[in-house]
Amino acid sequence: MRIAVLGAGAIGAYWGAALHRGGADVHLIARGEHLRAIRADGVRVLSPRGDFVARPNATDDPSEIGPVDYVFLGLKAHAYPTAGSLVAPLFDDSTAVVAAQNGIPWWYFHKLPGPYEGRRIEAVDPDGATSQVLPPERAIGCVVYPATVIEAPGVIRHLEGTRFSIGEPAGGISDRCTALSEAMIAGGLKSPVEPNLRDDIWIKLMGNVAFNPISALTRATMVEICQHPHTRRLVTQLMEETLDIAARVGSTPDISIEKRLRGAEGVGHHKTSMLQDLEAGKQLELDAIVTAVVEMADISGAEAPTLRTVHAATDLLAQRAAAGWEIDDTAQKAAPA
C-alpha cells in the first residue's frame, strides 16, 4: 500500500509515522525546517502511549513520489481549491483522497439520498473549484480525534486520542476503506469504518462550530468557556441550532449536548485550533467550520439566529486579521469634547 501525506504537519506527520510503523509505504510531503529534520532524523513521536521514531520518505515535490493508493490531506480545508498541482502527480485512476478536515467537507451532499443530493456548498467548494481538484468520487471521509502539536521540527507531541473514523460518502463498507482501516490498526491507531460517517462529522462539529469561534472572539480556553455561565449557555444554543440543521439534512448524531459539554470541559485549558491560528497570524478555518453550516441553514430553512450572529462577528474578526489589523487612522481619533 502506497500512501502520500500532503501537508505533513502535526496530524499528518503523526498519522504517516504510525502507518509507516505498521508497514505501509508512506511518503510525507512537507517543507522548510520540518522537512529537513524529518529527512535527517525521521519523525519522532512523543506519546503517552510510548515514544517511537519512524523514517518514511520525505520530500517537498510530489512528482518524486508518483501515483499512490491513498492521499491523506493534512492541509486546512481552505487550501484544497489551490492544491491541484500538488495532488495531480499523486493520482491514478483509483487513488483515494482521505480528507482529514474539520467541519463540513466539500463532498457532503455527494451520493446523499434525499432532496439535497449533489448540492454544492459554496463555502467549501466555491464555484466547484474544490471538486475540480478533488473529485468527490475519490473522497474517503475522515473525522480526526487525536490532539497533536509540532514540538520542534520533525518532533510530534501526541497529547491524546488515536481514533480516525473513516467512511464512504455513499455509505456502507467499501474494500478501500477496509484496507485503509487495517493499515491504520497495524500502525497502532483506532480506525472504525462508519457506514454513516456524516453523524460522526456532526458530533465533532457540534464542538468546533461553538468553541472555535467563541475562543477566537474571547481568547478563552475551552474550560474557561464552559465554566463561564453566559458563554456556556451560548455554546448550548449553538449546539442546539447545529443539531437542528443536521436533522434537516438527514443526520441524527447520537450524543447529548451535556455530554459534549462535559467532554470539552474535561480537555482543560486547551486553545482551539482557530484561536491558535489567530495568534499565529494564520488564516482562520472559518469557511468549513462555521460559514458552511450557515449555508446549510439557508439550504434547509433553519433560522439559526445565534449561529448567524456568532458567524458575523467571527467573519469580521477573520477579515481584520487577514488585513493585518489595519485600521484607518481617522477611526482612532477621539471625538471632540
How far are the Cα atoms of 8, 12, 145 from residue 16, in angstroms, in the given order? 8, 6, 15
User: How is the chain split into domains, by residue range?
Assistant: 2-195, 198-322
Amino acid present at 215: S
pLDDT class for 179, splitting at 50, 70, 90?
Answer: very high
pLDDT class for 177, splitting at 50, 70, 90?
Answer: very high
Closest-CA residue to 142 (of 90, 209, 79, 70): 70
Closest-CA residue to 73 (of 16, 32, 24): 16
pLDDT class for 167, splitting at 50, 70, 90?
Answer: very high
The topology (CATH level 3) of 2-195 is: Rossmann fold (3.40.50)
In the chain, pLDDT over 90 holds for what percent of residues? 90
Active site amino acids: 204
Q: What is the pLDDT of residue 151?
A: 95
Q: What is the mean pLDDT of residues 180-198?
A: 97
Task: Determine the 3-state secondary structure of 71 from DSSP.
Answer: strand
Query: Is a pLDDT exceeding 70 seen at residue 185?
Result: yes
How far are the Cα atoms of 40, 248, 256, 270 from residue 265, in angstroms, in the given order? 39, 28, 14, 9
Reported as a single tens digit per residue, the pLDDT across 43-52 is: 999 999 999 9
Q: What is the mean pLDDT of residues 137-150?
A: 95
Q: What is the mean pLDDT of residues 159-187?
A: 96
Mean pLDDT of the chain: 94
DSSP β-ladder status, 155-160 and 147-152: antiparallel
> What distance in Å separates the CA atoms of residue 132 and residue 137, rounded to the nearest whole number?
11
Dmax (CA) of the chain: 73
pLDDT class for 157, splitting at 50, 70, 90?
Answer: very high
Q: What is the pLDDT of residue 278?
A: 95
Q: What is the pLDDT of residue 154?
A: 98
* Gyration radius from the chain CA atoms: 20
Query: Is a pLDDT exceeding 80 seen at residue 336?
Result: no
Q: What is the pLDDT of residue 324?
A: 82
> What distance in Å separates the CA atoms of residue 2 and residue 70, rounded to the nearest whole number?
7
Amino acid present at 258: E
Q: What is the pLDDT of residue 333?
A: 41
pLDDT class for 328, splitting at 50, 70, 90?
Answer: very low
pLDDT class for 326, splitting at 50, 70, 90?
Answer: low
Query: Is a pLDDT exceeding 90 seen at residue 270?
Result: no
The topology (CATH level 3) of 198-322 is: N-(1-d-carboxylethyl)-l-norvaline Dehydrogenase; domain 2 (1.10.1040)
Q: What is the pLDDT of residue 327?
A: 46
Predicted TM-score (pTM) of the model is 0.92
Q: What is the mean pLDDT of residues 134-141?
A: 98
Q: What is the DSSP letter of 82?
A: G
> What distance in Å separates the CA atoms of residue 120 and residue 127, rounded to the nearest whole number?
8
Reported as a single tens digit per residue, the pLDDT across 289-302 is: 999 999 999 999 99
> What distance in Å separates the CA atoms of residue 286 and residue 104, rounded to the nearest whole number?
11
**Helix locations, 187-267, DSSP H:** 197-218, 222-227, 229-248, 257-267
Task: Determine the 3-state secondary structure of 147 from DSSP.
Answer: strand
Query: Is a pLDDT exceeding 50 seen at residue 192?
Result: yes
> What distance in Å separates the CA atoms of residue 97 and residue 326, rounded to the nearest whole number?
38
Q: What is the mean pLDDT of residues 69-97?
A: 96
Query: Is a pLDDT exceeding 60 seen at residue 334?
Result: no
Contact 189, 144 (CB under 8 A): no
Query: Is a pLDDT exceeding 60 seen at residue 266?
Result: yes
How far are the Cα atoms of 129, 224, 302 from residue 82, in angstroms, in the given order? 8, 36, 31
Query: Is a pLDDT exceeding 50 seen at residue 330?
Result: no
The side-by-side arrangement of strands in the sheet containing 2-6 is: 57-59, 25-29, 2-6, 70-73, 96-99, 139-144, 164-167
* Nine cell digits for residue 337: 469634547
Given the C-alpha cell 453550516, which residue does it identify? 293
Query: Is a pLDDT exceeding 50 seen at residue 120?
Result: yes
